[in-house]
RNA sequence: CGGGGUGUAGCGUAGCCUGGUAUCGCGCCACAUUUGGGAUGUGGAGGUCGUAGGUUCGAAUCCUGCCACCCCGACCA
């Protein structure tokens, strides 16, 4: 296959699109804004799901499933929620097609108009809280700790593979609590779960923070988030966890009876991450040779490529290769033996690099003779000849090293791309020339934030949770500020 | 939705300005030789040139509409 190569440094979007296609992760479908996630890409998503799902369950959550369709009337109940999502809703208005008697074409049957339109869910707060009303009577019914894995639809104007598609896959947690404190603790707990997942599994360092009012989720009191930094210096919101207060309980009249026999509105949270994480993964680690996968997410962690010239060599090589394959498999390593003999080793090397397989083991006649193998790691492209006897214990260790190295590299990159500035000129210089996060004072008003966005195209990504108190002057207005916030240009 | 660009075989493309039914590479199929960084040879299959109209004896090529996708904005996870 002749592969079009695009350099990351020359055309970042082109590089990204090319990589998604060449690594066999996904492709554009014939449906506008919707993508087809291919088996290899989906395998990575499944690993993300498994890791997240395990963490959700460890923190006491259960999975459930709610309808894809939401009656329009539900949507109108929470005012700011409608405002936030109205512009991007797909709406079902009819339930039947028919053959037009004149043109013989299949058309929407005008007689099959729905009494009430159905919204294809952009998020499920409304239908879930409508359901919670009937589930919750007493404090004994609380908390409810649910998650659902689902697809949602947001009719965005412009889409990008994985980062923003019309339909996307995600999980959304929806919890109900008796007290504000408990709900806030839940919100923060899930933020920690996301951060832990991002850093330890995706190997993407993230900044935990809280959103400014402008960037808050529609219907939330507070939105917590994790923000990652991509290799082009742009920030990416990788997950959000919302404290919804009693907004949805009030909108859907969800009350519970306390121990003291009083009625109170229920407190809510919601939290989600999506297939956008695939985009974060790709844009955090990959290079001009293709995808770079952290071992903990790689569907194939180690690939064995046998090399042989003559049939009698092939037999010996394959025998050894099979042996190593079994050995590593027993160690719990996700190993693949690529014995396709119509493809040359060189082709396979390049192909597995494109797909980001963390470790490649090549074994040829020379190795059989010396009881060695050639081990190449994807992250650094280093190759070493390893004694075959060491494979069993060294490979699992090497995988962990690669995981750590990828994370460290991303962390170093981020550290080099957080700049503290004190003036407007420094601010613009940092955004334009240094790229990345810019830590600056802001007077706390939405108007100022809006103005800065207009002038610089940078938004407040978050107010970091571990932010030190530091008094200063807003970079735009010169007004007093009590802490720095993180700005960046973002996806 | 505004600005720019692209659409020709599974992929990447030439041809378009100056109309005459399509070029090349990769891939695919068969056979042989090969295999330590994207193998080679020989033979073969594969195309309503995005789509609908128009101009013309004749359209991939000229004109008009539409659609899709990509990039840059606005919007957003």
Q: What is the pLDDT along chain A (491 residues), one digit of tens a residue?
A: 456 677 888 778 888 888 898 898 988 887 788 888 999 999 999 999 999 999 999 999 999 999 999 999 998 899 888 888 888 888 899 998 888 877 777 788 889 999 999 999 999 999 999 999 999 999 999 999 999 999 999 988 888 889 988 899 999 999 999 999 999 999 999 999 999 999 999 999 999 999 999 899 999 999 999 999 999 899 999 999 999 999 999 999 999 999 999 999 999 999 999 999 999 999 999 998 999 999 999 999 999 999 998 888 899 999 999 999 999 999 999 999 999 988 999 999 999 999 999 999 999 999 999 999 999 999 999 999 999 999 999 999 999 999 999 999 999 999 999 999 999 999 999 998 888 999 999 999 999 998 899 888 899 999 999 888 999 999 999 999 999 999 999 98
Nearest nt to A308, CA vs C1'? B35
Domain extent at residue A237: 12-69+128-285
- Protein-to-nucleotide distance from the CA of A202 to the C1' of B50, whole angstroms: 39
Are residues A378 and A245 both part of a single domain? no
Compute the distance between CA of residue A446 and CA of residue A455 in angstroms, rounded to an integer. Answer: 14
CA A310, C1' B39: Å apart?
A: 15
Whether residues A352 and A264 fall in one domain:
no
Identify the domain boundary among A217, A252, A285. A285
Nucleotide nearest to A453 (CA to C1'): B74
**Same domain? A212 vs A330:** no
Chain B footprint bases within 7 A of protein beta carbons: 1, 10-13, 25-28, 34-39, 67-77
What pLDDT is stored for residue A32 in this prediction? 80
CB A308 within 8 A of CB A364: yes
| pLDDT for res A155 | 87
CA of A278, C1' of B8: distance in angstroms: 33
Residues A163 and A217 both lie in one domain: yes
H or E segment and range at residue A322:
helix A311-330
A330 contact to strand B (CB, 7 A limit): no
Burial class (CB in 10 A: 0-12, 13-18, 19+), A339: middle
Q: For residue A486, with 0-12 CB atoms within 10 Å meaning exposed, 13-18 middle and 19 or more buried, which class applies?
A: buried
A61 and A175 in one domain?
yes
Residue bearing tokens 């990828």: A406
Does one domain contain both A212 and A63? yes
Q: In angstroms, how far is B72 C1' from A266 CA?
A: 46
Q: Does residue A410 sit within a domain? A: no
Distance measured from the CA of protein residue A98 to the C1' of nucleotide B55, in angstroms: 38
Q: How many domains does chain A have?
A: 3
Q: Is residue A120 part of a domain?
A: no
Residue A365 lies in a domain: yes
Q: Do residues A194 and A226 both lie within one domain? A: yes
Straight-line distance from CA A118 to C1' B16, in Å? 48
Q: Are residues A399 and A446 in the same domain?
A: no
Judge whether residue A347 contacts strand B, using its CB and a 7 Å cut-off: yes
CATH code for position A358:
3.40.50.800
Q: Nearest nucleotide by C1' from A289 CA?
A: B38
Element (H, E) at A73: helix A72-75
Judged by C1' against the alpha carbon of A27, the nearest nucleotide is B69
On whether residue A90 sits in a domain, the answer given is: no
Distance CA A287, CA A485 (A): 30
The per-residue pLDDT for A83 is: 86
What CATH code is carried by the domain that includes residue A449?
3.30.110.30
d(CA A297, CA A87): 35
CATH of the domain at A154: 3.30.930.10
| Strand B at less than 7 A from CB of A205 | no
On the CB side of A76, CA atoms within 13 Å amount to: 6
Q: Which of A405, A436, A466 is the last residue of a domain?
A: A405
CA A376 to chain centre: 28
Decide: CB of A309 under 7 A of nucleic strand B: yes
Q: What's the CA–C1' distance between A6 and B15, in Å? A: 25
* pLDDT, position A1: 45
Conformational region of residue A203, where left means phi above 0, alpha means psi within -120 to 50, and beta covers everything else: left
In a domain, A426, yes or no: yes
Q: What pLDDT score was predicted for residue A178?
A: 98
A338 touches strand B (CB under 7 A): no
The first and second tokens of residue A121, run together, are: 């869910």
Measured distance between the N- and C-terminal CA atoms of chain A, rounded to whole angstroms: 32
Assess whether A314 (CB) lies less than 7 A from strand B.
yes
Last residue of a domain, one of A243, A258, A285: A285
Q: How far is the CA of A75 from the C1' of B76 (A)?
A: 19
A284 CB and strand B closer than 7 A = no
Do A259 and A347 lie in one domain? The reply is: no
Measuring from the CA of residue A454 to each C1' atom, give the nucleotide at the shortest distance: B74
Return chain A residues 388..447 having CB < 7 Å to nucleic acid strand B.
none
A342 CA vs B31 C1’ separation (Å): 14
Tokens 């706390």 belong to which residue? A444
CA closest to B25 C1', residue: A2
**Any domain includes A462:** yes
Pair (A279, A325) in one structural domain: no
Element spanning A182, H or E = helix A180-200
Residues A171 and A248 in one domain: yes
Whether residue A340 is contained in a domain is answered as yes
Nucleotide nearest to A35 (CA to C1'): B69
Subset of residues 13-32 in chain A with CB less than 7 angstroms from any atom in strand B = 13-14, 16-17, 28, 30-32
For residue A2, say whether its CB is under 7 Å from any atom of strand B.
yes
Please give the angle made by the CA atoms of A352, A353 and A359, to the nearest 5 degrees: 75
A398 and A423: one domain?
Answer: no
Å: A291 CA to B51 C1': 36
Residues 6+ apart with CB under 8 A from A220: A242, A243, A244, A245, A247, A270
Our measurement of CA A188 to C1' B13, in angstroms, reads 53
Cβ of A154 near strand B (distance < 7 A): yes
From the CA of A101 to the C1' of B55: give the distance in Å: 35
A413 within some domain:
no
Nearest residue, CA→C1' of B69: A28
- According to the model, what pLDDT value does residue A27 have? 85
């Amino acid at each position: 296959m002749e592969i079009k190569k695009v350099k990351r440094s020359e055309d970042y979007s082109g590089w990204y699109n090319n990589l998604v296609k060449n690594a066999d992760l996904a492709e554009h479908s014939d449906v506008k804004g919707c993508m087809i996630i291919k088996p290899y890409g989906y395998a990575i998503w499944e690993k993300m799901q498994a890791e997240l799902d395990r963490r959700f369950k460890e923190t006491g959550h259960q999975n459930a499933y709610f309808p894809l369709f939401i009656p329009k009337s539900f949507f109108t109940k929470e005012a700011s929620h409608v405002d936030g999502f109205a512009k991007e809703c797909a709406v079902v208005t009819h339930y039947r097609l028919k053959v037009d008697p004149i043109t013989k074409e299949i058309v929407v049957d005008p007689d099959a108009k729905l009494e009430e339109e159905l919204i294809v869910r952009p998020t499920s707060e409304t239908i879930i809280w409508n359901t919670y009303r009937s589930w919750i009577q007493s404090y004994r019914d609380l908390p409810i700790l649910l998650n659902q894995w689902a697809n949602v639809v947001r009719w965005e104007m412009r889409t990008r593979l994985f980062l923003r598609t019309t339909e996307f896959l995600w999980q959304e947690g929806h919890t109900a609590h008796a007290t504000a404190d408990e709900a806030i603790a839940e919100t923060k707990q899930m933020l920690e779960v996301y951060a832990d997942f991002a850093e330890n599994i995706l190997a993407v360092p993230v900044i935990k923070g809280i959103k400014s009012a402008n960037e808050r989720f529609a219907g939330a009191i507070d939105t917590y988030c994790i923000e990652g930094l991509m290799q082009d210096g742009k920030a990416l919101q990788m997950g959000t966890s919302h404290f919804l207060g009693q907004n949805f309980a009030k909108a859907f009249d969800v009350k519970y009876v306390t121990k003291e026999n009083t009625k109170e509105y229920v407190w809510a949270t919601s939290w989600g991450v999506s297939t956008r994480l695939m985009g974060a993964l790709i844009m955090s680690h990959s290079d001009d040779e293709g995808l770079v996968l952290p071992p903990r997410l790689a569907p194939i962690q180690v690939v064995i490529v046998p090399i042989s010239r003559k049939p009698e060599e092939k037999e010996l090589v394959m025998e050894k290769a099979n042996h190593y394959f079994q050995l590593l498999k027993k160690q719990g390593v996700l190993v693949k033996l690529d014995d396709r003999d119509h493809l040359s080793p060189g082709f396979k090397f390049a192909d597995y690099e494109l797909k980001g397989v963390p470790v490649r083991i090549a074994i040829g006649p020379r190795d059989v003779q010396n009881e060695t193998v050639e081990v190449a790691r994807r992250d650094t492209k280093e190759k070493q000849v390893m004694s075959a006897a060491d494979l069993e214990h060294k490979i699992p260790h090497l995988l962990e090293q690669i995981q750590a190295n990828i994370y460290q590299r991303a962390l170093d990159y981020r550290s080099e791309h957080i700049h503290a500035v004190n003036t407007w000129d420094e601010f613009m210089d940092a955004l334009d020339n240094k790229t990345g996060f810019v830590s600056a004072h802001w007077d706390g008003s939405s108007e100022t934030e809006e103005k800065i966005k207009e002038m610089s195209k940078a938004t407040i990504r978050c107010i970091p949770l571990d932010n030190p108190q530091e008094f200063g002057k807003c970079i735009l207005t010169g007004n007093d500020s009590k802490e720095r916030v993180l700005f960046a240009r973002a996806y």
